[in-house]
Amino acid sequence: MARVAIVTGGTRGIGEAISLALKDAGMTVAANYAGNDEKARAFTERTGIKAYKWDVGDFEACAAGVAQVEADLGPVDVVVNNAGVTRDGTILKMSRDMWEDVIRINLGGCFNMAHATFPGMRSRKWGRIVNIGSINGQSGQYGQVNYAAAKSGIHGFTKALAQEGARAGVTVNAIAPGYIDTDMVAAVPADVLEKIVAKIPVGRLGQASEIARGVTFLCSEEAGFVTGSTLSINGGQHMY
């Protein structure tokens, strides 16, 4: 029987690439989304992957969403916590709501989704959780104290939860993407983007498919001895 995977923020950008890659790897995929119903319907029509709407920052909504996916598709074996938002601004201009939104969704969503799925994975002695961090959670970024804090928190969350799942066959890993050629990055002014690319040793932006391939490996049977790790896919922009 095919493994069942949930990809949060799974209908657009990096999330869409991950959803498609896991489907191509033979998994039954449920793509979570939060906002745009029309784009989610178009995604399902284009890919054949069912989309489910809920706010990952809402604890109860995650529990209900996972229950619905399991009723439709079967027990969830794989979770990719990809959903995230930005509310950029220097701390002098950042409201408490801007802070709360990013922490609640980007970091809180990882907790909410793990809480809803981890017990089942442990009881079945197999599971894969992959959390999408960020280069900016590793190195920091001007104007992103909220985003950098949330993404940095994801890396610590990953290491701690990995220790809880290891003996039960549940691996927990993270991927820290660098700058990827998505709609979000495409909206950056050309002169700013040129400066960003100049700092990437390989000399280009990454592709969403390159992140998806990393996720697919970490979700595979072959990655059973990899847990508590962060895979940095950033073209050499940040090395440590």
The pLDDT value recorded for residue 82 is 97
State the pLDDT at residue 141: 86
**Catalytic: which of 33, 52, 142, 147?**
147
Assess whether 147 carries a catalytic annotation: yes
At 33, list the tokens: 């989304």
Average pLDDT, rounded, for the chain: 95
In this prediction, residue 189 has a pLDDT band, given cuts at 50, 70 and 90, of confident
Q: Under a CB-based contact definition with an 8 Å cutoff, are residues 79 and 114 in contact? A: yes
- Does residue 71 register a pLDDT over 80? yes
What token pair was written down for 36? 């745009």
In this prediction, residue 182 carries a pLDDT of 86
Lowest-confidence range among 15-19, 105-109, 140-144, 229-233? 140-144
pLDDT value for 33: 98
Question: Quick one: average pLDDT of 125-153?
Answer: 94
Residues 6+ apart with CB under 8 A from 195: none
More confident residue, 142 or 71: 71
β-pairing, 78-81 vs 4-7, is: parallel
DSSP 58-112: -HHHHHHHHHHHHHHH-S--EEEE---------TTT--HHHHHHHIIIIIHHHHH
pLDDT at 192: 86
Domains of the chain plus CATH, in order, are: 4-179+210-233 (3.40.50.720)
Q: What percent of the chain has pLDDT over 70?
A: 100
Distance of CA 48 to the CA centre of its chain: 21
Classified as helix, coil or strand, 29 is strand
